[in-house]
Amino acid sequence: MFDGGILTEQQQKCIPDVSFELIPIRNLVSNQDYQRALSEKHIREALEEFDVYQLNPVKVSRRDGVNYVFDGQHTIEIVAAASGSRDTPVWCMIYDDLKYKEEAHIFADQQKHVRTLLPYETFSAHLEAGDDKQMIIDTTVKSYGLRVSGKRLPMELNCYSK
């Protein structure tokens, strides 16, 4: 936890001016034109594997006393469906007094530098977690004297080459 010491100017530039609050879903608005349309399929699939630990805080712009969701509209719909109530609160990361155009800009660029996990990285993490499916795959592969790897093999070593 941060000890409250003095931060350098460079450090201060790396900390957004936000607060966190639990806000009931019924008090959130998520109909901005720059957002994607809600995907009922995405919501259904997320509900099938609902895990509260996979929820990210909802990004909210509090403008003129209204809580506008600019990232997390699917999250709030998933939580509402899983809990059966729009009275259920979700953790929100509150940006005060952003302008509409600033929200749209943040929404558009927030995923620009996110690096998605490679399949091998996902597999390895599940293996570390002791997940049954990945443990069975790993055991089966090893029983043939092979190993799962994230590295590409030269064509002459690829088991499918002739």
When mean pLDDT is compared across 41-45, 126-130, 147-151, the lowest value belongs to 147-151
Q: What is the pLDDT of residue 5?
A: 75
Q: What is the mean pLDDT of residues 130-137?
A: 94
* Spatial separation of the C-alpha atoms in residues 4 and 90, rounded to whole Å: 27
Q: Do residues 61 and 68 lie in contact, with contact meaning Cβ atoms separated by under 8 Å?
A: yes
- Return the half-sphere exposure (C-beta side, CA atoms, 13 A cut-off) of residue 151: 4
DSSP calls for 1-24:
----PPPPHHHHTTS--EEEEEEE
Q: pLDDT per residue over 13-66, tens digit each?
A: 999 889 999 999 999 998 788 888 899 999 999 999 999 999 999 999 999 999
Structural domains of the chain ordered from first start = 9-109 (3.90.1530), 119-157 (no CATH)
Bridge pairing between strands 58-63 and 66-71:
antiparallel
* Measured distance CA(88)–CA(121) in Å, rounded: 34
Give the pLDDT of residue 149. Answer: 87
pLDDT tens readout for residues 56-91: 999 999 999 999 999 999 999 999 999 999 999 999
The mean per-residue pLDDT over the stretch 85-108 comes to: 94
Grouping H, G, I as helix, E, B as strand and the rest as coil, residue 94 is: strand
Judged on CB neighbours under 10 Å (0-12, 13-18, 19+), 69 is buried
- Which one-letter DSSP state was computed for residue 27? G
CB 120, CB 149: distance < 8 Å: yes
Q: Single out the residue of 116, 71, 124 nearest to residue 94, CA to CA.
A: 71
